[in-house]
Structure 1
Amino acid sequence: MTDHKEPQDPKEAADSPVTTRRGVRSFVLRQGRMTEGQKKAFERSWPKYGLTREDGMIDPREVFGRDNMLNLEIGFGMGRSLADMAEAAPEQDFIGVEVHQPGVGALLKEIEDRGLENVRIYSIDANDVIDLCLPDACLDRVMVFFPDPWHKKKHHKRRLIQHEFVQRVRHKLRVGGILHLATDWENYAEHMLEVMSESEGFANTQETGGYSPRPDDRPITKFEKRGETLGHGVWDLLFYRTN
């Protein structure tokens, strides 16, 4: 396993800005304090499960001690869904990316409570993870679930799913690897479908060229269940790398 540098104190980390080398940021860094339980989990478990920009380009086989199916989730929120997936598939490995420190602490607590050994975490901009930390063709699946929709038209340029981002993700997927997107904003779903349908090196898993049924291995979040009771739709898109 790679030796990791411990990040700054969780309290300081929660208050400090997350920098990005790219001009337009696709996320808002939500301020918030860790609970006492999240902070203690962070202090105990970050040295083992945390990955940093300073680690440089990782070798996933070295990080996990094996060569298994490797998943990347970008923006795991409070981490419950990622923990559910990792617990349900112990034969697979998972890397999660989240800039919100309470979410990182919450996932570390889930890892401890469930005894998970197949999860590692970055708490930096996903762009840096893709560009600086992951070797090409190392991922079997990339998941982006319910990213910020930036629903105002003037903010659409901030949406994460854009042609340039998708192409950088493509190079990190092995040929045949899956990019799985999900959103509960219909306009963003339409945008995602347009971007992916026009993206070089990707093909829709659906022969009809539309949205996909929710795969059984994507957990339904509390937020999603609440939305369903209010009549909100959810759209999944699964595209695979062709070359």
Structure 2
Amino acid sequence: MSEQPENTPHTAPVPAPAPDSAGEREQHDEQRAQQRVVRLGSQRFAPGEGPLPDPAGSHYERRIRSFQPRRSRVTAGQAEAMLKRWPDWGLDIDGKRVLDLDEMFGGLPVVLEIGFGMGEATAQMAAADPGTGILAVDVHTPGQGNLLGLADRNGLTNVRVANGDAIILLREMLPPESLAGCRVYFPDPWPKSRHHKRRLIQPDFLTLLAPRLAKGGLLHCATDWEPYAEQMLEVLTAHPDFENSQADGGYAPRPGFRPLTRFEGQGLDKGHVVHDLLFHRR
């Protein structure tokens, strides 16, 4: 390293000039927003700005979970949507309060959607049926941000995004008969035999869900994993609180309100068969 000449003064870094035009100000604001997004790339949002990593903490017993959080990085657009809309349209499942769905959705009937991926299908259903509120639950931060962005850009005020464990939401935070329906589309099939106990559609889950559904409320499941479809049909048929909408006791045709997603289309191209199950609470 060369030495600095003795007669060279030490000078402080020259600060960047303040933007003096609308275009420069816009660019300056965008750069600051990008810096904030980079900081949020670790998915650590300040309380109230976005979802917490583990909202329920250690308040509840440790048990086998049907989901596994995916830790992929949020994009700039997803982070900005989160910062903009989470305070009004997002909630953490902490199990510490009972939700007033009438207040949250302005009196609309509410459907619970468990696991929404990146939210494209949820946004399509919300746009097609603005008279129904959708309480969409997932633990995937990029998907949460993506759905909030879709809802914001398309003016979908009937969507709320919940972060955390749907079991805690059902058990601790939803009043009896507060849901018009529940949707479980393409849940993790946990294909290995030793993991079947992690599948969501089990007798205990149905027993927990049933009292939260209004009488006649619809549980709609869909999967492209044949063994899981068979288990779903067996478990739902045997449960005393649910009744198959199909007279023959089998699978239902895909209803028009469930969009054909890109993921599903890829599966169909590979020869996968998608099964829909529509059961009503007795």
User: TM-score, normalized by length of structure 1?
Assistant: 0.92
Matched, 1:61 2:102: yes
% identity of equivalent residues:
45
Matched, 1:167 2:207: yes
The alpha carbon displacement at 1:17 in A equals: 5.0
Equivalents in 1 of 2:229, 2:43: separation in Å? 36
Counterpart AA for 1:62: E
Matched, 1:127 2:172: no
Superposed CA offset, 1:57-97 (max 9, x none):
111111122x2221110001111101100000011111000
Superposed CA offset, 1:32-79 (max 9, x none):
1100000010001000101233561111111122x2221110001111
Counterpart AA for 2:254: R
Counterpart AA for 2:44: E
Counterpart AA for 2:75: T
Matched, 1:186 2:226: yes
Q: Which runs of 4+ in 1 moved over 6 A?
A: none
Equivalents in 1 of 2:52, 2:93: separation in Å? 18
Q: How many residues align?
A: 233
Q: Please, which runs of 5 or more residues in structure 1 have no aligned partner? A: 1-8
Counterpart AA for 1:150: W
Equivalents in 2 of 1:119, 1:21: separation in Å? 30
User: Is the contact between residue 167 and residue 200 of structure 1 (CA under 8 Å) also seen in structure 2?
Assistant: no
Does the residue aligned with 1:78 lie in a helix, a strand or coil?
coil
Matched, 1:100 2:165: no
| Cα separation, partners in 2 of 1:163 and 1:64, compared to 1, 3 Å | same
Aligned position for 1:74: 114
Aligned position for 2:22: none
Greater relative CO, 1 or 2 (CA 8 Å, sep 6+): 1
User: TM-score, normalized by length of structure 2?
Assistant: 0.79
Equivalents in 2 of 1:172, 1:15: separation in Å? 25
User: Is the contact between residue 41 and residue 109 of structure 1 (CA under 8 Å) also seen in structure 2?
Assistant: yes
Aligned counterparts, 1:85-96, within 5 A: 85-96=125-136
The alpha carbon displacement at 1:12 in A equals: 1.6
